[in-house]
Amino acid sequence: MATAYDIAIKQAEPEQDGRASVVAVENLQKSFGSRKILNGISLSVRRGETLAVLGRSGTGKSVLLRLILGLETPDSGSVRIHGQNIAGLALDRLGEIRKKMGFLFQHAALYDSLTVAENVAFPLAHHRKDLSNSERGDRVKQLLAEVGMENDLAKMPSDISGGMQKRVGLARALALDPEILLLDEPTAGLDPISSGEIDELILKLQRERQMASIVVTHDLHSARTIANRLALLDQGNVVIEGKYEDLRQSEIELVKEFLKQQ
Amino acid sequence: MSNSEFTTVAGINPAIPGRRTAARLAAGNSSTGLVNGFFEWFGSLGVFSWKVLRAGVTPPYEWRELIRQLDEVGSKSFPLVALAGAAIGVVISLEARYSLSRFGAKSMFPTTLVYSVIQVMGPIITGLIVSGRVGAGIGAELASMKVTEQIDAIEASAINPYRLLAATRILACILMLPLLTLAADAFGLLTGWFAQSLVEPLSFHQFIQSGFHGATFNAFLPPTFKTAVYGLIIGLIACFQGMRTRGGAEGVGRAATNSVVLGSLFLILADVVLVKFILVFFR
């Protein structure tokens, strides 16, 4: 039976260059109480493309990702995944769309009562009932091997480092073969070597899987490494969007200041 | 953006009643604030209940998690409930013997013990023990998962947290409370008889025959099965408090405390209604 997601994919209109926007955010507004977080943001990402959303802490970068995943509801504007507006969808219908999305949380958000392997197996156990136990085990090992964690299957999240937790979180995010990958500060809190490894890993995954990715970060170096396009947020608005060179040549004071601080 | 500024799990507005109330008191608006807070809490509970109900009755069903929760709520509460039931049996036995002796009604001892344990003390003690153990456990566990974004991670994995986390725990409480009550009753009667027989020999067969003489199912089944409502209250309040938590370790502690305090309070208030209901419809 065709899911809402499948129908939406068929209905999605391809853009002029033949590649449809997988994620399209239009005029998105979000406030918490009297505090305005996002003030009419519009962004889009296509298949095989990585957009890095930059900005200082508290500028609404993480909120943007949560809105795209449907963990928050926008005050106004739309979030379209393959053309389907997800605002107001019931949790189970939203779930059908979320199956095609992988999310790496800033602090990995691993289930602390489950082992590394069980964390990665969790989405598979719920959504891939067609897999036998041994097939699921093999898939978990393969996913953990992709992120270099194949030797830590039985460890608990509390027994591994922050960088390793992010790798496991990434393996879990990839478990259902997502078409969209959302990464919230993938290198935050990591040492430069671990950050570089995570960046390499993301690049490798992008090459192999051709997902549409949005990376929220305040690490310009990491953004330059893994993203095709960059967008700088400030006070709930997109200040500039384009390639790194566009940012470098920009005359906007805030952009200059941001690049200088990095 | 700190997690504390987020409003999920999906649509429930997390609230810190104490802080809100304090702010409103400072603004000289205390009575309105309290009334608003009161209605806001019940409104959020209503929305939460509806989401859990809707998720719980629609497939896919989370059988494995339900079985895990049945074990968590039932098997692991059994020793505590049995011990509490046993203690209550001894206390009632001691008190009843003294009181009945004063009025020359010692022959009524078995009936008094049976009715006191099964109709009154067994259900309420079981409810309060489970509220303390399971309510606090659920509240703290879900709150901890909430503040560490594990519930968001469940949602992000396209799994309905109301179905996986809340519906299973609430159903486990509903199913297990009557069974635990039966255990508390059994241990209460056993130790009550034992305490009595130490002073005045009385065979267990005689005690049971005398205690249940003329009793009908209506006298004992409704008080036992009313604890399913206790289970609903304990599970619902604990899941609600846990899943609306915010504020790190402090929030987790507050959720656990509120789960026990509010769960126990509503349980006792519900008992007033349930006792009247049973008296009207089953006696």
Q: Is B109 helix (H, G, I), strand (E, B) or coil?
A: helix
Residues of A in contact with B10 (CB under 8 A): 71, 91
Size of interface A-B (CB pairs under 8 A): 85
Q: What are phi and psi of A240, to 5 degrees?
A: -155, 150
The reported pLDDT for the residue numbered A18 is 47
pLDDT of residue B77: 95
Phi-psi category of residue B75: left, alpha or beta, with phi > 0 → left and psi -120 to 50 → alpha: alpha
Over the stretch B223-236, which tens digit does the pLDDT of each residue have? 999 999 999 999 99
Contact between A111 and B10 using a beta-carbon 8 Å cutoff: no
| Whole-number pLDDT of residue B6 | 39
Give the other-Cβ count within 10 Å of B111's Cβ: 18
Closest CA of chain A from B248, distance in Å: 14
pLDDT on residue A19: 63
Find the closest chain A residue to B147 by CA distance: A109
Identify the sign of the CA torsion B110, B112, B113, B118.
positive
Q: Is the pLDDT of residue A17 over 80?
A: no
CB-CB contact of B227 with B123 (8 Å) = yes
Reported confidence tier of residue B29, pLDDT bands at 50, 70, 90: low
CA distances in angstroms from A34 to A56, A180, B181, B227, listed in the order given = 20, 32, 49, 44
**Is a pLDDT exceeding 60 seen at residue B25?**
no
pLDDT at B9 > cutoff 60? no
Chain length of chain A: 262
Mean pLDDT, rounded, for B123-145 = 96
Contact B148 A112 (CB under 8 A): yes
CB–CB of A105 and B7 under 8 A? no
Residue B109 has pLDDT above 50, yes or no: yes
CB contact under 8 A, A109 and B153: yes
The number of C-alpha atoms within 13 Å of A74 and in the hemisphere containing its C-beta is 26
Whole-number pLDDT of residue A240: 92
pTM for this predicted structure: 0.85
Summarised one tens digit per residue, pLDDT across range A1-16 is: 445 445 444 444 444 4
Residues A244-256: what's their mean pLDDT? 88
B157 at A interface, C-beta within 8 A: yes
B100's enclosing H/E stretch is: helix B78-102
Q: What does the H/E/C string look like for chain A?
A: CCCHHHHHHHHCCCCCCCCCEEEEEEEEEEEECCEEEEEEEEEEEECCCEEEEECCCCCCHHHHHHHHHCCCCCCEEEEEECCEECCCCCHHHHHHHHCCEEEECCCCCCCCCCCHHHHHHHHHHHHCCCCCHHHHHHHHHHHHHHCCCCCCCCCCHHHCCHHHHHHHHHHHHCCCCCCEEEEECCCCCCCHHHHHHHHHHHHHHHHHHCCEEEEECCCHHHHHHHCCEEEEEECCEEEEEECHHHHHCCCCHHHHHHHHHC
The answer to whether the CB atoms of B160 and A95 lie below 8 A apart is yes
Q: Does B65 touch chain A (CB under 8 A)?
A: no
- Could you tell me which residues are beta bridge partners of residue A242? A230
Rounded to a whole number, what is the distance in angstroms from the first to the last CA of chain A? 50
C-alpha triplet A27, A55, A246: angle, nearest 5° = 80
- pLDDT digit string, tens, across residues A183-242: 999 888 778 887 888 888 888 888 888 899 999 998 888 899 899 999 999 988 999 999
pLDDT surpassing 50 at residue A85: yes
Cβ separation of B10 and A71 shorter than 8 Å? Answer: yes
Token code pair at residue A9 = 């994919």
Please judge whether B159 and A109 are an interchain contact, meaning their C-beta atoms are less than 8 angstroms apart.
no
pLDDT higher than threshold 90 for residue B156: yes
Q: What is the dihedral of CA B37, B41, B43, B46, to 10 degrees?
A: -170
- pLDDT of residue A87 exceeding 70, the answer is yes
With 90 as the cut, is the pLDDT of residue B89 above it? yes
Q: CB of A184 within 8 A of CB of A103?
A: yes
Residue B264: what pLDDT?
A: 95
Q: Is the CB of A103 inside 8 Å of chain B's CB atoms?
A: yes
B205-216 pLDDT, tens digit each: 999 998 888 888
Q: Do A91 and B55 touch (CB under 8 A)?
A: yes
Query: CB-based contact (8 Å) between B230 and chain A?
Result: no
Instruction: Say which residues have a Cβ less than 8 Å from residue B4's Cβ, sequence separation at least 6.
Output: B246, B247, B248
Interface mutation target, options B58, B65, B157, chain A, most CBs of A under 10 Å: B157
Question: How many degrees, rounded to 5, is the angle at CA A84 between CA A82 and CA A88?
Answer: 145
Q: Which of A83, A66, A82, A58 is nearest to A28 (CA)?
A: A66
Task: Record the tokens describing residue B174, joined without a space.
Answer: 């509903």
Token pair belonging to A68: 């795209």
User: Strand pairing partners for A234?
Assistant: A237
Q: What does the pLDDT average to over B109-129?
A: 93
Q: With an 8 Å Cβ cutoff, is A218 touching chain B? A: no
Q: Which residues of B touch A93 (CB under 8 A)?
A: none
CA distance A135 to chain B (A): 19
Q: What is the pLDDT of residues A149-170, one digit of tens each?
A: 989 999 999 999 988 999 999 9
Count other Cβ atoms within 10 Å, centred on residue A50. 22
Instruction: State the DSSP code for B200.
Output: S
The verdict on whether omega for the bond into residue B9 sits within 30 degrees of 0, i.e. cis, is yes
A75/B contact by beta carbon, under 8 A: no
Would the CB atoms of A91 and B51 count as touching at under 8 Å? yes
Q: Distance from A247 to chain B by nearest Cα, in Å?
A: 24
> With an 8 Å Cβ cutoff, are B10 and A92 in contact?
no
